[in-house]
Amino acid sequence: MYLGRLGNQGAESNHSSYCQRISFGSFMEPVEQVSESITRQQDISSELHNQRYEQWHNNLLKASTWKLKGEDNNGIKKDMHDINALLSLSPSGFAIWEEYKSEYILIIPWYRIASMRIALKYTEA
């Protein structure tokens, strides 16, 4: 699409990133280029996988600490909702959870509401 037009910014940055990664410059045989591209993609995927695994492992350790202590290292109370959010949300999703959890409304189970109504009925009489 951009051939002969000097490319766009995304294409140019990807090209220079590719050339820097394989360190051969841009003069390669097509077979070598495809082989190096596949290797490059596998390396990038492996790095991303390792980062995600490390984040997941750290979150498990953090969640077990919260479950045992009931609070984080700063003394802030943590409950099962916080633990579930930490383990099931992405890092950005968890940041949003932390920001807005003060607006979280506790839903009272139906059996508690029924027992409250019965208690109110006896106190009114």
Per-residue model confidence as pLDDT tens digits over 32-72: 878 888 998 999 999 999 999 999 999 999 999 988 888 88
Q: Residue ranges of the domains in the chain?
A: 29-124
Q: What's residue 33's pLDDT?
A: 78
pTM above 0.85, yes or no: no
> Per-residue b/e over 5-32, b at no fewer than 16 CB within 10 Å?
eeeeeeeeeeeeeeeeebeeeeeeeeee
- Give percent above pLDDT 70 in the chain: 59
